[in-house]
């Protein structure tokens, strides 16, 4: 694993995850997205759709809708709790 300094306090960890670990992490994220599918938030007040789709993992997820911006414990479309953050990402952070 190679740690490359990009700036003050900013590092690139090359090959932190092996190719096999990267594949497992991708599969883990994709499985969690089945429980919390991507959705398109909208701008407060105008309800104009964002140009991107998003999802969240963890206890609270960031959402935007006509009522405003906030963090909430459930997916705005499915109403289910957000899936946990993948353990591999927690270990990296």
Give the H/E segment covering residue 64.
strand 61-65
Tokens of 68: 């405003």
- Domain hosting 76: range is 2-92
Residue 55 belongs to a domain with what CATH number?
Answer: 2.60.120.590
pLDDT at 92: 86
Q: Are 13 and 1 in contact (CB under 8 A)?
A: yes
- Give how many domains the chain has, as a whole number: 1
For the chain, 93 residues long, the average pLDDT of each consecutive 10-residue run is 89 90 96 97 95 97 96 97 96 87
pLDDT at 13: 86
Q: What share of the chain is helix, strand, coil (3-state, %, to 5)?
A: 25, 30, 45
Report residue 27 CA to chain centroid gap.
Answer: 14
Tokens of 50: 């964002």
Supply the pTM of this predicted model: 0.83
Distance CA 10, CA 60 (A): 26
């Amino acid at each position: 694993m190679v740690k490359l300094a990009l700036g003050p306090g900013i590092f690139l960890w090359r090959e932190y995850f092996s190719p096999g670990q990267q594949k497992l992490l991708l599969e883990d994220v994709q499985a969690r997205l089945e429980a919390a599918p991507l959705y398109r938030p909208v701008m407060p007040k105008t309800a104009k759709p964002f140009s991107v789709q998003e999802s969240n993992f963890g206890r609270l997820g960031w959402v935007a809708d006509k009522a405003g911006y906030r963090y909430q414990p459930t997916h705005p479309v499915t109403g289910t709790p957000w899936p946990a953050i993948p353990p591999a990402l927690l270990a990296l952070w």
